[in-house]
Every structure is written in C-alpha cells, then in structure tokens.
Structure 1
C-alpha cells in the first residue's frame, strides 16, 4: 500500500499533524518507536497550554491521542525509523523490524533528547544518581539533598516539582545572582520555594560516588576555585539534542543538527516536512509543536493535491 502521508513521531507535533490529516481524509501512517506523546509524557504539570489551566503531560497526550485515533484514515504502528529517502515520486521510510513503507509525502516529528555534557562521572552514574527526567526518577530522591544543573524553564519547572520529593534542591547556575534563563513567572515561583537554594556563578565539574552519587565538584566561575560538596543526586537540564541523525546528508540541518524549515514547515526537499522540537524553531513548547504539526499537515495536503 502507498500512503498519502507518513508521519514519523507521535509527539505533540506528530499527533497534531495526524488530526489535521484525518480531517483532510488523507490515508496516513503514524510511526513511533516508543508510544504516544514524546517528551511531554515526562512533564508532571503543564500550565501554559490554552484552555488547560493545569494538566499533566500524560493527560494532555491522552487527549491528543484519542483525537488522532478517531479518524479511520489514520493507521498507527510501533517501529524505529532507520532511513528516509526519495525514490522517483514516492518517499520510502525504512524501519528496523517492520520493513519499508511508501508515501507521497512525509512529516518528520522526530523530537529531541536531553543533552549529555560528558562530564567526568556523568555517564558512569546515569541511573545511579544522575538523571535527566524529574517525573521519571523523583521517587528515587525522597528526603534527599539533590542538585540541578541549569536555569532554563525546564530546569525551573523540574526544580519546583522535585522539591515535593527531596529534602532540599540546590540549583547550579552559571549566571550572576538573580539571573536565570527561564521566564519571570517560573523564576518567581522557584525563588519563593523555601526548599530551593541557588549556587550562582557556578559550573559543575565532576560527579563522584561509588554505587551511587555521593559528591559533586563545582567551580566558581569568577575565582576559578573548585570544591567538592555532598550531593545525593544531580539532575541535568542543560538543553536538548535533536534526533535527526537519520537525516544527515538528506536535508539541510543547522550547526546543532536541527532541521531547517520554511514558513510551511517544508525542508530542503519538496514534499518532506518537519515539525516541532526537531526543527530550528524559536520556541520549543507543546503549543508551538502542535501549531507546527497543523501547518505541516495542511502544507502536505496541498502538496499532495497539487501533485
């Protein structure tokens, strides 16, 4: 069978695309390697999605999923995509175990993974005190004194969430006192949390322990002084890395590996679109991913009809 559209990834962007594809009555295949929702499933509470004053990531994903599955023209399959290529007038999407699928058009909602800095001890203690997901691992740190590296919105949101489990949360911030990378509303929320403290002008240098994290080495960025301090866990929230390895040599990527797209979410190949966090977008939030997915699906429909 040759589909009208294949959507790779069932996160916010992919599911939004699936909804719009369903409304356009396109025969659509959605492929995802790990279920629905992407990174949003790891978000304990979403406070900025229009119409939802407060909702869990899983709760919002379930609404997206039910909506996308309500269209009879949408098929879903679990699989790991290994390659995307153009053959004559069709795109071929190859998977590790499910074989190849063909379509007239493809939307890539590949998402991102947490960035790994490669600090001394970081890889050694992954799952043993080093974590990249508060929702996944918070229960491991009940009553403990832990640290967070980073000061963006994700770091601030997760610090607030982790404070409900840990005894004390200390944020390691490279900026001067009072300066963070996140929004003002998140900053105020965290600053007024009595269980959260800050280490300003500080970088993480090393992670130490035996079977589990016991200490970290931090460096004062003004004095260059290093010191070892006790820690029962370190959460790393220092940015995201796009899952675009399969696209290298196929489409134009920026220097960080994000897919370059135009205002219609089209990549450098006609008929191949990308949406959500894997693109060179200004903002990576659920609402923008959903918007990207809608634009990509409408542009894909028009491309298919035109062809």
Structure 2
C-alpha cells in the first residue's frame, strides 16, 4: 500500500488503543523538572513522565530553480518508494555517496538508462560501490557537474536538468523521465539542541533501549543516530523505546 494509506491505518490502530493524536503543533523546547517533563509549544504546555521523540528527517534538497515545483512530478528522493514508476524509462540520479550509487544500481535493474550526476571529480562512496557500478552497462556517469535548474514540460512534469560543467563552466542539459536526488538527510531535531546529546549531523544519540542522554526521554526512527531510514525499522525502534519507557517508569 502507499505510504499515506499505511500511516492512516497506523493512526487508526493507535486511536483504537487509546492514543490521542494532535497535529499541527510545533515543539519549542522540552524542560525537565524533578517529577516530569514540560513540553512547550507555541500554543500550550504538555506534561509527561516520559517522552519518545520520533520527529523523523527531511530530505536534503539542492535548492535550485524548479525543484520545489516538481517534487512528486518527476523529482523524487526514494528509489525503493517511487522507482517502479520508471520501469523501462530513463532516469537521473544526483549524488555521489553510498546511497546515491546503491539506489542508482537498484534503478538500473529495471530502468532503461540511469545517468548519475555528481558535483565532484570523484565519488565519495565506498570502493565496493564504485567497483560494482562499473558492471552496469546502462549507467552513465557524469562527474564534476553542478545541477543548476530543473525544467518542466508543457504538462508541468519534469523534462530535463540543466547543469554546469565545473571544468569548462559551460551549461549543458540532460533529458530524462524522472530524477532521484540522494544528497543526504536532515534530522528534525533543532528543537532539542542543548537538551539532548546530538551527533555532528544532528541525529539524536541513544544507548540501550533507545534511551537518549536524558533519562526518561527516548528516540525512534530517522531522527535517531544509526537509523536505517525504513518504516519497518522505525516501527521496530518504537517498540524498543516502549520497553525502555516501561523499564524507566517501573523504577
């Protein structure tokens, strides 16, 4: 089923089991007291004896013209989610790390052609990925190219990518049916800076049973350092955190 349908099913189940769900509320900060936590928002204050943070992450974007308008209309950030729409078609993959090459090779398994574009002269991916990449005949690599603009067709869908050759400084373009961007994820943890220990990338650091650096506060999903960024894994982490909560409250 689709991601939104799955979320609706999970929300329905949680509500049946007694959960109260409130949306559109921005967390400003969490304040610990001697007996509970105060969760400050723009509109009100919540109190809790324990907290699970599962704020997820946001795909890092290129920030170039045409990108925001074409998300979902030819521009994507998850090959396993949306790659099936491009069977026997041509796609572009932007990025040079492990994720970009892994997803590019995944797409090459059923796409007619995959063009990988990276802004540097060499890939930052591990050698095992770069060596495997050479075995694919339907993958073209364009290194040292900087994406400049996404162009739409008359129907409002992605048509081509304009990029700049860093060596010649000339603009060039490549046409394709779709684009997949893999340049990293930004964890949604800004509200917890100074309250929890975070990694250099901003992910929440956890230990046994997904407990954070603050006793009684747990983390699960893509906001947690070391997360796999798949819904099945995130769900499992939520289960682990629930056991951590039970152990904490029993004390």
Task: Provide TM-score, normalisation by structure 1.
Answer: 0.59
Query: Which residue of 2 is the match for residue 204 of structure 1?
Result: 147
Contact 2:31/2:40 (<8 A) preserved: no
Contact 1:82/1:246 (<8 A) preserved: no
2:67 maps to 1:118: no
Q: Distance in 1 between matches of 2:193 and 2:7?
A: 22
Q: Distance in 2 between matches of 1:75 and 1:156?
A: 43
**Higher alpha-carbon deviation: 115-124 or 258-267:** 258-267
**Higher alpha-carbon deviation: 127-136 or 233-242:** 127-136
Question: 2:171 is matched with which residue: 223, 226, 246?
Answer: 226
What secondary structure sits across from 1:124 in the alignment?
helix
Query: Which residue of 2 is the match for residue 239 of structure 1?
Result: 184
> Where do 5+ consecutive residues of structure 2 fail to align?
1-5
The verdict on how the C-alpha distance between 1:288 and 1:231 changes in structure 2, with shifts beyond 3 A counting, is closer
> Where do 5+ consecutive residues of structure 1 fail to align?
1-32, 38-68
Residue 239 of structure 1 and its aligned partner are, at CA, apart by: 0.5
Residue 194 of structure 1 and its aligned partner are, at CA, apart by: 2.0
Q: Distance in 1 between matches of 2:240 and 2:72?
A: 38
What secondary structure sits across from 1:110 in the alignment?
coil
Q: Distance in 1 between matches of 2:202 and 2:121?
A: 30
What secondary structure sits across from 2:67 in the alignment?
coil
Q: Distance in 2 between matches of 1:163 and 1:246?
A: 39
Q: Distance in 1 between matches of 2:83 and 2:227?
A: 24
What secondary structure sits across from 2:82 in the alignment?
helix
Q: Distance in 1 between matches of 2:74 and 2:218?
A: 39
Q: Distance in 2 between matches of 1:155 and 1:299?
A: 34
* Alpha-carbon displacement from aligned partner over 1:108-142 (angstroms, at most 9, x marks no partner): 23322211221121112222221112233334434
Q: Distance in 2 between matches of 1:189 and 1:75?
A: 49
Q: Distance in 2 between matches of 1:295 and 1:131?
A: 31
Contact 1:34/1:78 (<8 A) preserved: no
The verdict on how the C-alpha distance between 1:102 and 1:36 changes in structure 2, with shifts beyond 3 A counting, is farther
Contact 2:205/2:212 (<8 A) preserved: yes
Question: 1:160 is matched with which residue: 92, 100, 105?
Answer: 105
RMSD: 4.0
1:33-182 to structure 2, matched below 5 A, reads 34=7, 80=23, 82-83=26-27, 85-86=30-31, 88=33, 89-91=35-37, 103-177=48-122, 179-182=123-126
Residue 168 of structure 1 and its aligned partner are, at CA, apart by: 0.7
Contact 2:101/2:125 (<8 A) preserved: no
Task: Provide TM-score, normalisation by structure 2.
Answer: 0.70
Q: Distance in 2 between matches of 1:146 and 1:253?
A: 36
1:180-199 to structure 2, matched below 5 A, reads 180-182=124-126, 184=128, 186-199=129-142
